[in-house]
Structure 1
């Protein structure tokens, strides 16, 4: 069986290729499989990335698109751990809502926002690799879900109250087990491995296979892509090194604190400071300091 061709990573495609109308089919395929709808991209909007620092530009990629329903879809690829990431996507969706409501317009003109996060770091606790979040109103006493009235459904052109609010999709790429059970899994396989198997049939993947081949890149573009991949590896190594140093320092400090705890408990039992220092592994100065503090 021939090896799958090496393909451009999805984040690089978002940065350089998928903003072109000629490649909308790839993006439409991914979103259609994720949202279970026939998505058509009408336009790519200005991205947030222009306001980011160089480090943020490396660690994340974002793209904003408007679909045929007038909804704005935010797509973000994030590599490095961010503990307040949920607040980050809340801020992004809220700002998009506010920025797209013209001054003096009624609230019924608020745009629907769909946030899609492709995460390459351990995020939260949970066994799944795709999570969906929506705002629902549940009765405290009867546990029923609040529904729109007939007039509201006619006004808003939707059936459920949660459809009026931002929705969030979190894809935990590293937690995917590489078994493609459905078309969405085929896309996540590509997101994780940068490969498309010959039997994959998900919408958009065939176009991705044809157009995201690394070997088809012009030489300057291929070199830029390789530098980008090297930068990602370098950044990951720096983060891992910082974590390793911090962990070793923490372990060392923990061992020292435990030795001091034992020494304090033996101050009245062993009166010879030299012997106590030998027994606990502390220095003579440490033992004398502990006696002075006691």
Structure 2
């Protein structure tokens, strides 16, 4: 039995895979590894994606203050569209504002002042959250600009004539699309390619018989023990840093909750005292009135208005 357990443990160690956030920052920028990233994009965008090149941006630099992997991958596909992949490991205020800013900045980066607007590129923003954000039951959300009639509630659709003469593109071909992936909300047994990718993103597991686009390549190229000892050490330090940071944030959140609870109890206690005193004064006023005491005298004694 001990031998079986040891064999199982060694197998698990051998099949341990690098987290996607680390891989996307260190390994998947190499053209030889584009297959993993292309598979990921194909599954989550619902169409075959081929990466032509990775685009540089200010936020994908491997700097010291970037150790929590606020990852930006900017890829250009074979349609000339830009795809942004952002991964957030730790909780952060104004994350959606950051997503919007990144999208706007990307649009302006690829069109110069004075150029025609037809050069504006279609952009997809894929955002992976390793923490809870907002309310909702699904683990995958898709957002797209639509124009809805204020009174009629119908959707504005550009017809064929207008499209060929006046308008060159439909709004879905122009406006950005947003994919929000909420890792913590995934709790299914992986069956579909999408679920297999979610399972890998959350638990780091990949089925040996996987047919999901990109995951077969990931099994071969993202093994923990395929990294050099130096890279394994840096990877372990990264995981440790993320755990510590999230622990600090959880502790701060708990302390803030407890402080708020204590303040609320103290405030309610004071309110209770005030309410009790007011009720007592009212009761005394009624008794004094029944005894025929002058109303002005009652007001002065109890503080209750006439």
Q: Report TM bin, short chain.
A: 0.7 to 0.9
For 1:53 and 1:11, locate their aligned partners in 2 and report how far apart those are by CA, in whole Å: 15
Q: 1:215 aligns with which of 201, 225, 232?
A: 225
Q: Please provide the CA RMSD for this pair.
A: 2.6
Q: 2:160 aligns with which of 132, 149, 155?
A: 149
For 2:94 and 2:40, locate their aligned partners in 1 and report how far apart those are by CA, in whole Å: 26
For 2:226 and 2:36, locate their aligned partners in 1 and report how far apart those are by CA, in whole Å: 16
For 2:229 and 2:201, locate their aligned partners in 1 and report how far apart those are by CA, in whole Å: 24
Alpha-carbon deviations, 1:102-124, whole Å to 9, x = none? Answer: 23211111011100001111112
For 1:204 and 1:154, locate their aligned partners in 2 and report how far apart those are by CA, in whole Å: 41
Q: How many residues end up aligned between the 2 structures?
A: 269
Q: 1:138 aligns with which of 103, 127, 148?
A: 148
For 1:66 and 1:23, locate their aligned partners in 2 and report how far apart those are by CA, in whole Å: 15
**For residue 241 of structure 1, what is the aligned residue in structure 2?**
251
Q: Is the contact between residue 108 and residue 156 of structure 1 (CA under 8 Å) also seen in structure 2?
A: no
Q: 2:119 aligns with which of 109, 119, 122?
A: 109
Alpha-carbon deviations, 1:60-92, whole Å to 9, x = none? Answer: 222111111111110000122334222221111
Q: Is 1:68 aligned with 2:84?
A: no
Q: Is the contact between residue 14 and residue 62 of structure 1 (CA under 8 Å) also seen in structure 2?
A: no
- Aligned pairs for 1:65-214 within 5 A: 65-140=75-150, 141=152, 143-147=154-158, 149=160, 152=163, 160-214=170-224
SS of residue paired to 2:68: helix
Alpha-carbon deviations, 1:213-233, whole Å to 9, x = none? Answer: 000000100000000000000
Q: Is the contact between residue 146 and residue 155 of structure 2 (CA under 8 Å) also seen in structure 1?
A: no
Q: Is the contact between residue 21 and residue 69 of structure 2 (CA under 8 Å) also seen in structure 1?
A: no
TM-score, length of structure 2 as denominator length:
0.80
TM-score, length of structure 1 as denominator length:
0.83
Q: Which moved more, 1:256-265 or 1:137-146?
A: 137-146
> Residues 245 and 37 (structure 1 numbering): CA distance in 2 closer, same or farther, change over 3 Å?
same
1:145 Cα deviation (Å)?
3.4
1:155 Cα deviation (Å)?
9.8
For 2:231 and 2:97, locate their aligned partners in 1 and report how far apart those are by CA, in whole Å: 35
> Residues 155 and 58 (structure 1 numbering): CA distance in 2 closer, same or farther, change over 3 Å?
farther
SS of residue paired to 1:58: coil
Q: Is 1:26 aligned with 2:36?
A: yes
1:163 Cα deviation (Å)?
1.8
> Residues 245 and 52 (structure 1 numbering): CA distance in 2 closer, same or farther, change over 3 Å?
farther
1:199 Cα deviation (Å)?
3.2
1:168 Cα deviation (Å)?
0.5
Q: Is 1:44 aligned with 2:54?
A: yes
Q: Is the contact between residue 47 and residue 62 of structure 1 (CA under 8 Å) also seen in structure 2?
A: yes
Which structure's CA Rg is the greater one?
2
Q: Is the contact between residue 139 and residue 146 of structure 1 (CA under 8 Å) also seen in structure 2?
A: no
Q: Which ranges in structure 1 are unaligned for 5 or more consecutive residues?
A: 271-294
